[in-house]
């Protein structure tokens, strides 16, 4: 439920509204990011009539129809900007997260960081903990990998993004001051992890689940984080299982990129590396994602993919990545035209 306040609400009227909300065992959720000041109500409001909260100083009370509330555009109409250690994403700010699939060695990681920095990426990624289908596949360097990421950050100045697999790792991630915590597709509905990340407050990159990732489930996963008090969520479309099995591994769902932007104010980025699983499609799908409204891209880059310990078939070389990066500004400008057209269509 959302309570929209009148511009001239007095502090006594405001206080009395907050008390009415709390008396029902609900949590008031003020949002001052819009021109009209609104107060969201967190908790189960299904048995309460909106009129209950009508009072002096209140303009209207509306029920949000979707199962996710605090991440919906109904609650906050304008786009959010998420700040990752000084790098902005969303509402006109475009950011590229690039780096190898896995942290393999200092030599490999530094070569990748140098290359993506020189090409103009804003954030550096690399997996230290790897969720692999087979227990015999490379599981990542673990804590040693986090240490190497931090060394690369200190050397090249790019904030780091890496995957967290369990709430038990939060203390470890905090010790290394990881800038952005990635929740992988397999963990999109790991509710204990999502809730804990909501209490931590660090920016979260929330990937869409491959099988359970309906738009509603994805935004509900974001709601778990935001409703615990962490508004810093960036959504990441990383491909879903389609009917194709040979030409590409996953289907990057451009509809989803466009659709979540209608339904939520959270930034959304696209991951064409995992979203296609096919190196040759990455330029096409990267630039199409920008046209569809993505606020950023996640692209895997490896200094020598023949030696990669995971996802060898989908990581760009530094040279290929550099060429792709040069094309991005044109597509960001193209997107502004598309945005105008979209708004004209209503
Ligand atoms: Mn990968």
Q: How far is the CA of 101 from the centre of ligand 1 (A)?
A: 4
With a CB cutoff of 8 Å and minimum separation 6, the contacts of 135 are none
Q: Residue 345: what pLDDT?
A: 85
Q: How far is the CA of 310 from the centre of ligand 1 (A)?
A: 6
- DSSP assignment of 47-88, as one string? TS-GGGG--TTEEEEE---SS--TTBTTT--SPP-EEETTEE
Q: How far is the CA of 300 from the centre of ligand 1 (A)?
A: 7
Q: Residue 34: what pLDDT?
A: 57
The 8 Å CB, 24+ separation contacts for 319-323 are 321/98, 321/115, 321/116, 321/119, 321/121, 322/115, 322/118, 322/119
Q: Residue 46: what pLDDT?
A: 86
* Contact criterion met (CB below 8 Å) for 258 and 296: no
Whether the per-residue pLDDT at 32 is higher than 70: the answer is no
Q: How far is the CA of 130 from the centre of ligand 1 (A)?
A: 9
Q: How far is the CA of 237 from the centre of ligand 1 (A)?
A: 14
* Contact criterion met (CB below 8 Å) for 81 and 90: yes
Q: Residue 129: what pLDDT?
A: 96
Rg (CA), the chain: 21
Q: Please give the backbone phi and psi of residue 18, each rounded to the nearest 5 degrees, phi first.
A: -60, -40
154-209 pLDDT, tens digit per residue, is: 999 999 999 999 999 999 999 999 999 999 999 999 999 999 999 999 999 999 99
Q: How far is the CA of 299 from the centre of ligand 1 (A)?
A: 9
Q: Residue 171: what pLDDT?
A: 97
Whether the per-residue pLDDT at 44 is higher than 70: the answer is yes
Whether the per-residue pLDDT at 219 is higher than 80: the answer is yes
Q: Please give the backbone phi and psi of residue 29, each rounded to the nearest 5 degrees, phi first.
A: -130, 80
245-270 pLDDT, tens digit per residue, is: 899 999 999 999 999 999 999 999 99
Mean pLDDT of the chain: 95
With a CB cutoff of 8 Å and minimum separation 6, the contacts of 216 are 66, 67, 68
Q: How far is the CA of 17 from the centre of ligand 1 (A)?
A: 48
C-alpha 46: how far from chain center: 29
CA angle centred on 64, ends 89 and 30, rounded to 5°: 60
- Mean pLDDT computed over 28-53: 84
54-101 pLDDT, tens digit per residue, is: 999 999 999 988 889 999 998 888 999 999 999 999 999 999 999 999
Q: Please give the backbone phi and psi of residue 5, each rounded to the nearest 5 degrees, phi first.
A: -95, 150
Q: How far is the CA of 114 from the centre of ligand 1 (A)?
A: 19
pTM for the whole thing?
0.94
Q: How far is the CA of 264 from the centre of ligand 1 (A)?
A: 27
Q: How far is the CA of 131 from the centre of ligand 1 (A)?
A: 10
- Mean pLDDT computed over 99-108: 97
Q: How far is the CA of 155 from the centre of ligand 1 (A)?
A: 23
Q: Please name the residue ranges forming H helices in the chain.
A: 11-23, 106-119, 143-156, 170-175, 191-200, 215-227, 254-263, 272-276, 282-292, 318-345
Domains of the chain: 2-62 (3.30.70.1140), 82-345 (3.20.20.70)
* Contact criterion met (CB below 8 Å) for 309 and 112: no
Q: How far is the CA of 127 from the centre of ligand 1 (A)?
A: 8
Q: How far is the CA of 258 from the centre of ligand 1 (A)?
A: 24
Q: How far is the CA of 174 from the centre of ligand 1 (A)?
A: 23
């Amino acid at each position: 439920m959302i309570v929209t306040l009148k511009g001239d609400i007095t502090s006594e009227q405001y206080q009395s509204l907050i008390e009415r909300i709390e008396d029902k065992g609900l949590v008031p959720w003020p949002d001052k990011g819009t021109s009209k000041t609104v107060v969201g109500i967190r908790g189960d409001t299904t048995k309460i009539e909106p009129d209950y909260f009508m009072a002096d100083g209140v303009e209207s009370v509306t029920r949000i129809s979707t199962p996710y509330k605090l991440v919906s555009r109904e609650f906050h109409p304008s786009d959010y900007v998420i700040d990752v250690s000084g790098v902005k994403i969303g509402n006109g700010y475009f950011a590229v997260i690039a780096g190898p699939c896995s942290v393999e060695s200092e030599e490999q990681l530094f070569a990748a960081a140098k290359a993506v920095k020189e090409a103009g990426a804003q954030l550096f990624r690399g997996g230290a903990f790897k969720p692999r289908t087979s227990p015999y596949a490379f599981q990542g360097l673990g804590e040693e990998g986090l240490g190497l990421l931090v060394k690369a950050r200190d050397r090249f100045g790019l904030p780091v993004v890496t995957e967290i697999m369990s709430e038990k790792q939060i203390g470890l991630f905090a010790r290394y001051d990881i800038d952005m915590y990635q929740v992988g597709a397999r963990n999109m509905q790991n509710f204990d992890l999502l809730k804990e990340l909501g209490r931590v407050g660090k920016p979260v990159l929330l990937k869409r689940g491959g099988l359970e990732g309906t738009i509603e489930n994805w935004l509900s996963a974001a709601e778990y984080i935001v409703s615990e008090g962490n508004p810093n969520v960036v959504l990441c479309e990383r491909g879903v299982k389609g009917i194709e099995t040979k030409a590409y591994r996953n289907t990057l769902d451009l509809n989803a990129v466009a659709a979540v932007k209608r339904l939520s104010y959270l930034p959304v980025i696209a991951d064409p590396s995992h979203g296609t699983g096919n190196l040759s499609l990455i330029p096409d799908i990267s630039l199409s994602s920008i046209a569809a409204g993505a606020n950023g891209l996640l692209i895997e880059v490896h200094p020598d993919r023949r030696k990669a310990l995971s996802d060898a078939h989908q990581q760009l070389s530094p040279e290929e990545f550099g060429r792709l990066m040069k094309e991005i500004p044109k597509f960001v400008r193209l997107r502004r035209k598309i945005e105008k057209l979209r708004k004209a269509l209503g």
